[in-house]
Structure 1
Amino acid sequence: MSQIDVVIFDIGNVLIKWQPEDFYDRTVGEERRRNFFTDTNIHAHHEKIDAGASLPEMIDSLVPQYPEYAAELRMWNDNWNDLAAPAIPHSVHLLNALADKGVPLFTLTNFGHDNFPLSQAVYPFLTRFDREYVSGRLKLIKPDPAIYAHVEADSGIAPERLLFADDRADNIAAAAARGWQTHHFTTPRGWADRLVAEGLLTEAEAAWPAES
């Protein structure tokens, strides 16, 4: 019998791809994208969205500062579901398999409070969590230990009974330091193997015809 009470999923690069550079390379070209990302430091601004700032308000504040990139900045909001895409099919299969078996599922994700519902509308599997710990709502962001403490206090589940998958080593290290069971996500196959090893899924339930 598994010693895990809850499986916790990160979202970006675990369930849906988060590489916004790909979208801009397709739409404005690699050189323009590179200049846009460097000149505006857009990833640093996005961290503020993950920490609780409003996405549309953030973009509105940046456009006057970088008028030459007004169109690209508007895309960050208006084309959100093109930036945070596509779904990672094998990971989604694993999430659905766990949910269908009645395994309790949480998400612990660095995600803005404005854009998380936009992604849920496009990806219904993001509504299958029993509890949603979204950084933009909590105004706490991984790997701050406070966000992990919040999950523990809110759920009432002992750290060692939580299994957490995240693609970032710093987020995993912070969880492990609190006693969580962790999995550094690199491929869906590796995550599937871990879920099978924990007795949460059978090999057949975790199987996928090709690597995703």
Structure 2
Amino acid sequence: MGIKAVVFDFGGVLIDWSPEYVYRRLIPDDAERRWFLDNVCRMDWVVQQDGGQTIAEGTAELIAKFPAHEALIRAFYERWREMVAGVLEEGVALVDALEAAGVPLFGLTNWSAETFPYAWENYPVLRRFREVIVSGRVGVVKPDPAIFALMRAEIERHLPGVEPHELVFIDDNAKNAQAATALGWHGVHHANAAATGTRLRELGLPV
């Protein structure tokens, strides 16, 4: 099949990130915490910052909508580093295997431009990719086809003439993987490293 490059998402594939790690301490009751994360600090709000809105703007907007929850809302980014538990070793093992085989690797992540530098400095696996596109820096988020076009342009600088069917994209968000597939890439929904490894082997990759 001739896969020429593999593109990794970061959160949920290589980096263990979850708001639960902070809000379990702040809201011990499971039902109350679920309500807060489903209705106040929702993932679509987080994606606004991932898309380039500043943390200050996003926080102010949400406090204006939910003033009674101001302290809990401010905690989201004030304690953001506590949401990062470390690397996901089985995901990193996939990077190790592909890198050892000489497969060109790239990164494509939905991440705030303000918080990404912390991860970049503290988790060396993120610095092992030929190019990394961070949504907060380019102002567009997955699953928008535009961010995949930006990624493909970066890949083509290294691999001129590469075709979509020669690219693999791994993401823990099924919608993002499906978006890559719709563009002709091989989108892999990362549920766990074992299943992803199996799919990569099916595509002829040495993992």
Q: Please report the TM-score for the alignment, with normalisation by the length of structure 1.
A: 0.82
Instruction: Look up the match of 1:83.
Output: 83
- Secondary structure of the 1:46 match is helix
Q: Is the Cα–Cα contact under 8 Å of residues 172 and 189 in structure 2 kept in the other structure?
A: yes
Is the CA contact 2:131–2:154 (under 8 Å) kept in the aligned structure 1?
no
Farther-moved stretch of structure 1 (182-191 vs 98-107): 98-107
Deviations 1:136-159 (A, max 9, x none): 111111111111122223322311
Q: Offset at 1:52?
A: 0.9
The answer to whether the Cα contact below 8 Å between 1:7 and 1:164 also exists between their aligned partners in 2 is: yes
Task: Please give the alpha-carbon distance, in whole angstroms, between the structure 1 residues aligned to 2:186 and 2:99.
Answer: 19
| More displaced stretch, 41-50 vs 53-62 | 53-62
What is the one-letter code of the residue matched to 2:99? Answer: A
- The equivalent of 1:53 in structure 2 is 53
User: Is this contact kept in 2: 1:56–1:77, CA < 8 A?
Assistant: no
Bigger CA drift: 133-142 or 57-66? 57-66
Equivalent residue for 2:170? 165
Specify the alignment match of 1:36 in structure 2: 36
Contact preservation (8 Å) 1:81, 1:122: no
Cα distance in structure 2, aligned partners of 1:101 and 1:59 = 44
Gap regions ≥5 residues in structure 2: 157-161
Matching residue of 2:195:
190
**1:185–1:191 CA contact under 8 A, matched in 2:** yes
Root-mean-square deviation over aligned CA pairs: 2.3
| Superposition map of 1:1-212 within 5 A | 3-29=2-28, 30-63=30-63, 65-156=65-156, 157-201=162-206, 206=207
On the 8 A contact 2:4/2:167 being kept in 1, the answer is: yes
Q: Structure 1 vs Structure 2: percent identity of aligned residues?
A: 36
- 1:144-200 Cα offsets, whole Å, 9 max, x none, are 111112222332231111111112222122211211122121110011223333343
Name the count of aligned residue pairs: 201
Alpha-carbon shift at residue 119 of structure 1 (Å): 1.6
Q: Look up the SS of the partner of 1:17 in the other structure.
A: strand
Q: 1:56 Cα deviation (Å)?
A: 4.0
